[in-house]
Amino acid sequence: MTATAVRFVIPELPPGTPAGTLFLTGDHRGWSSDPQGWAFQRTGQGAVLNADLPMGSLLSVKVRILGTDGRVTEEGDAWGGRAPAHKAVIHEDGQTVTLSLAGWQDDRQGRGRPPRSSPPREEFALAAPWGEQLVRLWWPEGAPDELPLLILHDGQNVFDEAPTFAGSSWDAGGAASMLAGEGHPFRIAALPVSDERSRRYVPFPFEMNAFNPGADEYLDWLRDGLKPELERRFGPPTHTALAGSSFGGLITLYAGLHDPGEYGTWGVFSPAIWPADFELLRWMAGRTDLQARVWLDMGDHEGRTTQEAAETVQLTQGLAETLRPKVQEVQVAIGEGHWHDEEAWRARLPAFLRWWLTSASRRQ
């Protein structure tokens, strides 16, 4: 694609900005912490960076500082916590992208920040093959024990902002409260994951799981460990959904076909199906769950460029066509202006929940 000049401007650096080299990082450079080629020049109270980028680039970026002591500090919010990335679409030569910084991440780690999302009601540890697995639970006040159950992957990102990578969450508790207010209460069990994410969520060998996938072990534990424990505590759910995003969307789709009948509804958000040269598409051949209902979605800004994002939407539509003969129903949603991040999944979650719960109640 044609390269174009882009000027990144920080109008004013936050008070207490440490000494060192300011630089830009982001998904366009694999979130590298090497300033080379991407260092800002300080000017007055702010800083500027001139760069060449492909026309049509979809940028998700942050500012970092390589300190004089060799430590790297990333921009944060006003409470020293994580901040969402800046986003920009490069659509013209000479474009200026303004980056307003609220602060830097520090030892406060966001303490004192007004909450934007509902925290879980309970957390407990459950034995798993990889050690203790934290389970984060939410349910509506005054609801009976026997409720629909939603199991969510990436449980560190779905409730409050504190443990999230990007400083934003799905606010699953807030969405669930809204649905409960509409007469559709349900329970959430969310499962945090960290360094083992690529191994646990990708069922095929590839570089990021060191060619040693652990997805089958994870799904066996969901079926034989988590679900029986939740049933022991609360009784059998009236119906069950499994959902996740990116690699969490991949493992959700894989789980539904790996264990037919185990999950009545699959929430497949922005699935990253590319590992092992799209092995999932070959693995799906001959597998079905004709009672399952599938929510499949994608944002129209998911990719490195506008062209790549359009191809990703086309791939999603093709995946839906492949799935339709294998399941009872496929519902496709394309998020307009949505990127590959928690803010987008937060925006699409209520529509998925309403689709799941209203149709499930009609079938009871």
pLDDT of amino acid 364:
46
Q: 158-163 — which CB contacts under 8 Å span 24+ positions?
A: 158/188, 158/190, 159/117, 159/118, 159/119, 159/120, 159/190, 160/115, 160/117, 160/118, 160/119, 160/120, 161/81, 161/82, 161/110, 161/113, 161/115, 161/116, 161/117, 162/81, 162/109, 162/110, 163/192
Range list of β-strands (E), the chain: 3-10, 20-26, 41-43, 46-54, 58-67, 72-76, 86-89, 95-98, 103-104, 122-128, 131-138, 149-152, 187-190, 240-245, 265-269, 289-299, 327-335
Q: What's the pLDDT band for 143 if we cut at 50, 70, 90?
A: confident
Nearest to 70 by CA among 133, 7, 18: 18
Residue 256 has pLDDT above 80, yes or no: yes
Percentage of residues in the chain having pLDDT higher than 90: 87
Percentage of residues in the chain having pLDDT higher than 70: 97
Read off the pLDDT of residues 219-241 as tens digits, 9 standing for 90 and up.
999 999 999 999 999 999 999 99
Q: Are strands 58-67 and 86-89 parallel, antiparallel or unpaired?
A: antiparallel
pLDDT of amino acid 110:
82
Read off the pLDDT of residues 175-193 as tens digits, 9 standing for 90 and up.
999 999 999 999 999 999 9
How confident is the model over 16-28, as a mean pLDDT? 95
Q: Are strands 72-76 and 58-67 parallel, antiparallel or unpaired?
A: antiparallel
Q: From the centroid of its chain, how far is CA 158? A: 8
Residue 337 has pLDDT above 70, yes or no: yes
Read off the pLDDT of residues 257-302 as tens digits, 9 standing for 90 and up.
999 999 999 999 999 999 999 999 999 999 999 999 999 999 999 9
Mean of all residue pLDDT scores within the chain:
94
Rounded to whole angstroms, the Cα distance separating 150 from 242 reads: 6
Q: What's the pLDDT band for 132 if we cut at 50, 70, 90?
A: very high
pLDDT of amino acid 89:
97
In order of start, what are the domains of the chain with their CATH numbers? 3-104 (2.60.40.10), 122-363 (3.40.50.1820)
- Length of the chain equals 364
Phi then psi for residue 58, to 5 deg, are -105, 110
Q: What's the pLDDT band for 165 if we cut at 50, 70, 90?
A: low
Read off the pLDDT of residues 44-79 as tens digits, 9 standing for 90 and up.
999 999 999 999 999 999 999 999 999 999 999 999
Q: What's the pLDDT band for 360 if we cut at 50, 70, 90?
A: low
| CB of 303 closer than 8 Å to CB of 309 | yes
Range list of β-strands (E), 121-214: 122-128, 131-138, 149-152, 187-190
**What secondary structure letter does DSSP report for 27?**
G
pLDDT of amino acid 2:
84
Rounded to whole angstroms, the Cα distance separating 90 from 178 reads: 37
